[in-house]
Amino acid sequence: MRVKNNVSWNCPQTVFLGLGANIKNPADNLSKAFEHLKNEVLEGACLSSLYITEPMDVKEQPEFINAVCRGQFRGSPQELLAAIHLIEDSLGRDRSREQRRGPRPIDIDILLFGSLVLNNPPLLVIPHERLRDRKFALVPLLEIAPDLIDPVNGAPYASYIAEIEDQLISRLN
């Protein structure tokens, strides 16, 4: 495991979480997931607009609804991941029965955790390993944090959008 940066887990860290869903009332599931995050996990949480996006890897499935949540978290990345999994479970996600990158009622990913760089695949990679390639994550992320910088190389996240091939995305609200 490689960890860059000496971080105290007692100090709140600004975290960005990607939320996505495409079955079983996805917009409602995103709303419920955000309420759990806001009330139980994060301080000062806010949510981007909702976006309709096409599936990337498994094409034969419904469109996704995506958003990004920002908030302050006191604890380790592993504690945040455990809290996220509890929320996903409570909203009907069953990882043992779903197709990898297939349809799901809710998916919550840790996109960024302060300026932490953590490389512990397959358990946890921060920044999210595919963030730079996903317009469905970058567009809502930049909506709520337009000047955000990649902690790995210091590049503005906005610079990655032009490099992404066609990925259809449109604002829902």
Please, is 64 exposed, middle or buried when counting C-beta atoms within 10 Å of its C-beta (0-12, 13-18, 19+)?
buried
Active site residues: 93, 104, 107, 109
In sign, the C-alpha dihedral spanning 117, 4, 72, 83 is positive
pLDDT at 8: 61
Q: Say what the pLDDT of residue 7 is.
A: 56
Structural domain spans, the chain? 2-171
Q: What is the mean pLDDT of each run of 10 residues along the chain (173 residues)?
A: 53 96 96 97 97 91 97 95 96 87 93 94 91 96 97 96 88 84
Please tell me the predicted confidence (pLDDT) of residue 82.
Answer: 94
Question: What pLDDT does residue 121 have?
Answer: 81
Is the overall model pTM greater than 0.75, yes or no?
yes
Enter the tokens of residue 27.
């917009």
Under CATH, what is the fold of the domain 2-171?
Alpha-Beta Plaits (3.30.70)
**Which tokens belong to 54?**
């096409």
SS3 171: strand
Structure tokens at 96: 């043992």
- Within 10 angstroms of residue 67's Cβ, the number of other Cβ atoms is 27
User: What is the rounded distance in angstroms from the CA atom of residue 154 to the CA atom of residue 55?
Assistant: 29
